[in-house]
Amino acid sequence: MTEESTETLSVVVEREMPHAPEKIWRALTQPHLIEQWLMKNDFEPVVDRAFAFRADWGEVAGTVREIEPNKTLSYTWEAFGLESVVTWTLIPTSTGTTVRMEQSGFKPDQKQAYNGAKAGWPQHFTALETVVASLG
């Protein structure tokens, strides 16, 4: 009998954006802006608040875990058997902000979800940057 691995995988995307953390924070926490770069949603930046991201392919259930305005946003991301946590970290730099997103909790047998996240998040980052750039 072999012991099942409890090791989980994470997807990390980090990108420098030439915008203030406050602007990026708006795009990460305001539902109408989230919809422009990620999915339709009923998100509210309130700890323990449940929400859903909705797309043509289905729905992601989430609960807000941590909020530190303009710095850290963390929420659960549950869909199709995947129970993961998405954590956004905004680090001010001399020219803007380093935006770091980590989605952790992929089990070894969830390769499809893991590969999907690895392919999808960089595209969402590009869309996020477009939305942030359009903000006044």
The pLDDT tens digits for 88-115 are 999 999 999 999 999 999 999 999 999 9
Structure tokens at 83: 């129970």
DSSP state of 56: T
The fold of the 11-134 domain, in CATH, is Alpha-D-Glucose-1,6-Bisphosphate; Chain A, domain 4 (3.30.530)
Q: Do 114 and 7 touch, CB atoms closer than 8 A?
A: no
Q: Is 60 exceeded by the pLDDT of residue 4? A: no
Q: Supply the pLDDT for residue 5.
A: 54
Model confidence pLDDT, tens digit, residues 30-70: 999 999 999 999 999 999 999 999 999 899 999 999 999 99
